[in-house]
Structure 1
Amino acid sequence: MQILVVLGHPGRESFNRAIAQRVLATLHDAGHRTIWHDLYAEGFDPALPPAELGKDAPLPEEVEGHCRDLAAADGIIVIHPNWWGQPPAIVKGWIDRTFRQGTAYRYLPGDAGDGVPVGLLRAGTAVVLNTSDTPEARELSVFGDPLETLWRKCIFEFCGVRRFFRRMFGVVVTSAPEQRAVWLAEVEEIIRYYFPKESGAC
Structure 2
Amino acid sequence: MPEHEQHDVIPGPPTDTEGLVVGSDGLARTAWAMGSDMMRHYYDTEWGMPVRDERGLFERLSLEGFQAGLSWATILAKRENFRQAFADFDPDAVARFDQHDVERLLQDAGIIRHRGKITATIGNARATVDLREKGGLAELIWSHRPKETPVPRSLAEVPTRSPESEALAKRLRAAGFRFVGPTTMFALMEAVGVVDTHLVGSHRRGASGVWS
Same fold flag (TM > 0.5): no
> Greater helix percent: which structure?
2
